Amino acid sequence: MRRDEHAPFWYRTQTHGDKQVIRPVGRARLLRSPKSRQRGSTYAIALIVLLVLGTLATMLGWSALMQTQHAQRKETQLRLDSLLQSGVTYARWARCYQGRNLPFTFTLNLSEGRVNGRVDADSRYGDNAMKIQVTATYKDETRSITRIVDGSQKARSTTEFALFLNEDLDIGSGKKLSLEGDLHANNNIQIQPGGVLIVDGAVSSSRQVIGTVTAMRYKEQWGRLVPNDLPTLGELRAQATQLIAGNQTLPFGLSLANDSVYYVQGNLQLQGSLRGCAIVVVEGNLEFTGDTNYTDPDSLYVFFAQGNIKVPAGRRVVGLLISLDGNVELEDRAQVVGGIIILDGDLQLQGEATLKHDPRVNADLFRELTGMSETIGLTPVMAIPVP
């Protein structure tokens, strides 16, 4: 027997002639191989990296899914809120300005969804109080609210609208008008083929609405006439705090004391900053030659022009623009933040224009300055949520 026959299996030798060579075999060779250990470490690291990357991918995918679902829920909520407000606004209009008898129900099929409502008298909150119950449906979601509001019958004011025309509104082919606020015409509203009218609010006409109108709230035809509640030029002149003879050019804006009535006996060209809370009256034409802006959030200007009013291309002007006996011309990409009232003229578009209503023109200050009646805006007396 060789002397290594009873040695452990991992230490047995092989004989080559008169020399013995000791070679580890079996597990010993694997345990002692540097290349084997390196390969094993590489596989382990790769596996860990794959696990980490997989976990990160899962987390990122879950996060993206949650963000998408949150955005969808938020959009649905905003749509439902808009639809509910449309229903409340329509109910007020139908009762207070159209004189519908109580109780009544209504259905609005709007571009965003469907609105159903019911309006009843509710004497618990006053002689003229009414209860508005509105249910809105957007996709598969439904939401309801109840509002208690003043149901007194009133006449609407010209200043409640982003755009008011005592005559027709005609949107020609290739022209586009975008409004944020309500629109009313005491005559026809007509959109020619190729013309675009988008109203983020309500559209109402005392006659017909002809053509395609995109209205976010409601569209009404054959409504009541909205009376002219504006002061005359003579009344404004009697209240003037500054009387300017001849034409005026103001390239740097205008700064007036609050409650001022700045009266120009001629034409006025204006651009620049506006400061104060005041009325500007122009016996001739009013032309904006550039942008205008308010110097502070308390400033508010109302412009009366006996003649035409012009806003140049690509310019943004602020204030309520009132044309007593002329046209209002909006060149391509013109913007007005305030409102437009046209009593005896037309709205002339040279391309695309944008108009945004400034609700401050309904403020008591403006009505006191112009001798107009007290603010008639409707505000809810009480809000009652419905489960």
Taking only the tens of pLDDT, the chain with its 387 residues reads 455 555 555 455 555 444 555 555 454 444 445 556 566 677 778 778 778 777 777 777 777 767 777 777 888 888 888 888 888 888 888 888 778 889 999 998 877 788 999 999 988 888 888 999 999 998 888 999 999 988 887 777 888 899 999 999 999 999 999 999 999 999 999 999 999 999 998 899 999 999 999 887 778 888 888 888 888 899 899 989 999 998 999 999 999 998 899 999 999 999 999 999 899 999 999 999 999 999 999 899 999 999 999 999 999 999 999 999 999 999 999 999 999 999 999 999 999 999 999 988 765 455 555 555 443 333 333 333 333
What pLDDT score does 214 carry?
A: 86
- In this structure, are residues 277 and 257 in contact, taking their beta carbons and an 8 Å threshold? no
Distance CA 275, CA 318 (A): 11
Provide CB contacts within 8 A for 24, sequence distance 6+: 10, 11, 32
CA dihedral 30, 35, 41, 44 (to 10 degrees): -80
What pLDDT score does 23 carry?
A: 54
Q: Where are the beta strands (DSSP E) in 110-202?
A: 114-121, 129-138, 141-150, 163-165, 169-171, 176-180, 183-185, 189-191, 196-200
pTM of the prediction? Answer: 0.66
Pairing relationship of beta strands 334-342 and 163-165 according to DSSP bridges: parallel
What pLDDT score does 67 carry?
A: 74
Distance CA 81, CA 136 (A): 8
